[in-house]
Structure 1
Amino acid sequence: MFWSHLSDIIGRKPIIALGVVAISVSILRLGVSTTFLAVVVSRCFFNGFNNNEAIIRCAVGEMTDESNSPAAFALLQFSWTLGQSLGPLIGGYLSHPGSWFPELFSGNIWLEYPYLLPCVVVAVINTVGLWVLWLRFNEVSLISSTSNSRKDNSCQTQTLLRDESNSPAAFALLQFSWTLGQSLGQLVKIRSLLTPRVVLAIANFVAFSLLHAAVAAVQPLFLAMPVSVGGFGLQPAQVGLILSTRSIIGSLTQLLLLGFFLRKFGLRRVFTVATASFIPAFLLFPILNISQDPPPVNRDTPLIIPWLLLLLQCLLLSIAECGYACACIYITGSARDKQNLGTINGLTQIPMSLSRLAGEASVTFMLGLSIEKRLLGGYAVYVFMSFVVYLCVLLVRRLPRDGC
């Protein structure tokens, strides 16, 4: 939350740049790590200096309005999905380069640090991103004072800041000094930001994150578990392909259709449907397991129905993915002014991270307990999560219709 609040004072750009640098340093440190402690240190460094998820949401919220924010947040989600898909590919295919490409990577360094090459590639990608960020990203607006006299006194400074003839370095220095001077005396207490509208928006974002994390944790386990214990019985390669395909379909659904859905049906209705989509998605898990275990007389027939049901579940989860952009729009709309948007997103990030951990831990614990104790035939976890989704839908219904 510290970095999010600091971004309200000095701007989003330097904090995002710091996060990108932290990723590069951390990933390079990971590449030369030979002990578990070194890996933990690199991860702690990353977490300590990078809060770009919340701050980038702030920047997107500031540079968009109700006409284009759905497409912008959908594009943001698509970029994260693309990164989550490419990251494992880079790590998997470029690790141990001495074994894959012995003629190019025969040195001792590649044998001593078999994961260094993918880490270097990721660091180079981040360096390119940092360069593009510093040259092309412009702050949408500077933090303004609520006092009319201060607005008058700072008029010349704002004019200077908007002068496009300034060099990037001069612009950044002027922007930093102006925003810092204007804002040090205007730090807002956190309690004053927690209005009922903000708390409700945060609560819905946290609830949606819990559901999303629960599905992300239980689906690969279900797909890989044997049919005899309540799973779908797929091979690891098949599971990975299905999960990647589902993520891409969900991102494309948001990117191509979310804007139309919001214009046609409204923000709250779309968010409600997206959240409610988790209910049939969870209830399809036991149906999928039952469909994979047909009577002996039908074992020689093609099992088309299970795959059709799996496709239906993936489509339902793709609809549910639209809830992410809706939650982001509600968070942005809950802020009384953009001056405190970073702090509000920082406040959202803490319980959201905890809810993700809680969602993953609770659903996996319930899954194991359901199978071990044969609760509701081993399917109790899915009934329990469906009830949790129902409670979340009731919470969504308390949101305003238009997100403001």
Structure 2
Amino acid sequence: MEEERLQTSPLLKKKYHENCPGCKVDQAKENKKDVSFINLSFIWLAVLSGTLPVASLFPFVYFMVKDFNIAETEEDISTYAGYVGSSMMFGRALTSILWGMISDRYGRKPVIIIGIITVVIFNTLFGLSTSFWMAISMRFLLGSLNGLLGPIKAYATEIFREEDQALGLSTVVAAWGVGLVIGPALGGYLAQPVLKYPNVFPADSFWDRFPYFLPCFIISAFAFASAIACIIWLPETLHNHNESSNSAEVLEIESCGTDKDKMMQKNKSIFQNWPLMSSIIVYCVFSLHDVAYQEVFSLWALSPTRLGGLNFTSDDVGIVLAISGVAITIYQLSLYRLVQKACGPVTLVQITGVLSIPLLQCYPLMAMLSGFTLQLVINVASILKNVMIETIATSLFLLQNKAVEQHQRGTANSIAMTGMSAFKTIGPASAGALLSWSQKHVNGSFLPGTHIVFLALNVVEGLGILLMFKPFLSVKNETPSE
């Protein structure tokens, strides 16, 4: 009987349906021995298109809110800027699970393409905003109608063979990290072009009336080109036939003494998968810290020195973030896998989080520097901090995807995206309000000015580090098999 099962197993593994896109992908994975860099490029384009708008507004949202004339005092600007920054994540938190369910039923490709087209439309309209409420509405729709970042992580595991899935996820995180840094760099360089490039953009022109449209337009143009490429060439990974497309997986379950009913029970009890849920909770805590840091960094750098800031221009912020983006790309695609292999994802997050705390608490002291020294110190600190952020995110992604079977990854990634978006909704608003409060207490006796802001960021970081230890965090290979 055992010999008969071993003989039939290979035949079932090679059963493909002619008109099924998922079967075509599986067949291509079986026939090809190398990693498809074309698939990597599609993942890169899709993730960049969805991520560039997330933080691109941070270098200029301070000036945008100021132009709206809604803030009563200069110190209140950061509060309103936080609301604009939070609206996108609020929309995403409401719809991420829905988009994950749609991708499980109708395919990854439609959800990815709809998400990119959403960027084209609503990011462009955000650049044309003439009021505070229009800006918030466009950012909300941009978040709620763009559900690609959850399914793209499942897609990255499905498009590659099992031994190459780590590279697929690393590509997602690398593109994500670059988008969160290059986006603000574009916003810093291209916002208010009439003031920065008067020889190219004349006064009283369209660009003078809509001073924040140019960076949004560039990002939307990139997203438009990515949408066309994905429509034509992006392969679908979802199976469209009624028969089980995972015959090998079913056989593997049977060989372990399990039956199909138990596999279905696993699908129903994903919220009882503590290795998954604990890693998602930790990821949400670090996400709260990360988005709050991104909001605070730009607003703090742009703030005048009398309020504890660096008095940077949006160009200065753009340069710092662009340099960090290059460093993230190099690190993520070359060094991360070596470091992760040496330490393991859990230990790597713990070490990185601990090292991040003293680095971040040094930020307020940088306001006492000037000239080349300030530029050098802030660039080194920004590179280190952003590399640490991406190291933690990638390691937690690996833990999440290892905690579930392949047939559960779409749902798992959607749950993680929903939780992350909910926490990132809180981040910009609370960070902006806290920064605004701190700037009103620059002469306080205890932790004056921005010292209290960076201390609050470190408290969140410290909580995330504590949750990375037992008994809270559980890793799948450390638990008994179900």
Q: Give 1:84 deviation, angstroms.
A: 4.8
Q: Is the 8 A contact 2:190 2:215 kept in 1?
A: yes
Query: What is the TM-score of this pair, normalised by structure 1?
Result: 0.71
Inter-CA distance 7–116: structure 2 relative to 1 (3 Å threshold):
same
1:269 counterpart residue number? 347
Give the letter aligned to residue 4 of structure 1.
Answer: G
Inter-CA distance 399–214: structure 2 relative to 1 (3 Å threshold):
farther
**Do structure 1's residue 292 and structure 2's residue 389 form an aligned pair?**
no
Query: What is the TM-score of this pair, normalised by structure 2?
Result: 0.61
2:244 counterpart residue number? 151
Aligned partner of 1:138 among 210, 235, 244: 235
1:376 counterpart residue number? 447
Q: Is the 8 A contact 2:282 2:468 kept in 1?
A: yes
Q: Deviations over 1:304-339 (max 9, x none)?
A: 4x555434422430331322222222222222x233
Distance 1:319 1:35 in 2: 36
Q: Is the 8 A contact 1:8 1:339 kept in 2?
A: no
Which stretch of structure 1 is more off in the superposition, 382-391 or 30-39?
30-39
Counterpart mapping for 1:216-255 below 5 A: 216-255=294-333
Q: Deviations over 1:116-163 (max 9, x none)?
A: 887666555433322221232223453898xxxx439x99xxxxxxxx
Distance 2:158 2:178 in 1: 19
Q: Is the 8 A contact 1:214 1:359 kept in 2?
A: yes
Distance 1:63 1:208 in 2: 28
Give the letter aligned to residue 330 of structure 1.
Answer: L
Which stretch of structure 1 is more off in the superposition, 21-30 or 342-351?
21-30
Inter-CA distance 205–134: structure 2 relative to 1 (3 Å threshold):
same
2:118 counterpart residue number? 22
Q: Is the 8 A contact 2:194 2:208 kept in 1?
A: no
Q: Give 1:15 deviation, angstroms.
A: 1.1
Inter-CA distance 2–194: structure 2 relative to 1 (3 Å threshold):
farther
**Do structure 1's residue 329 and structure 2's residue 398 form an aligned pair?**
yes
Q: Deviations over 1:266-319 (max 9, x none)?
A: 222222233233302221123324x539xxxxxxxx874x55543442243033
Q: Give 1:344 deviation, angstroms.
A: 2.0
Q: Deviations over 1:40-71 (max 9, x none)?
A: 55444433321112222221233344552464
Q: Give 1:346 deviation, angstroms.
A: 2.0
Give the letter aligned to residue 239 of structure 2.
Answer: L
Aligned partner of 1:128 among 225, 232, 246: 225
Q: Deviations over 1:180-229 (max 9, x none)?
A: xxxxxx89987644521221111111011111112112222333344454
Q: Is the 8 A contact 2:113 2:231 kept in 1?
A: yes
C-alpha RMSD of the superposition: 4.2
Q: Is the 8 A contact 1:220 1:243 kept in 2?
A: no
Q: Is the 8 A contact 1:370 1:376 kept in 2?
A: no
Q: Give 1:261 deviation, angstroms.
A: 0.9
Aligned partner of 2:424 among 344, 352, 356: 356
Residue identity (%):
20
1:60 counterpart residue number? 156
Q: Is the 8 A contact 1:223 1:232 kept in 2?
A: yes
SS in 2 for 1:139: coil
Give the letter aligned to residue 2 of structure 1.
Answer: L
Distance 1:94 1:188 in 2: 58
User: What runs of 5+ residues in structure 1 fail to find an aligned partner?
Assistant: 156-185, 294-301
User: What runs of 5+ residues in structure 2 fail to find an aligned partner?
Assistant: 1-96, 248-263
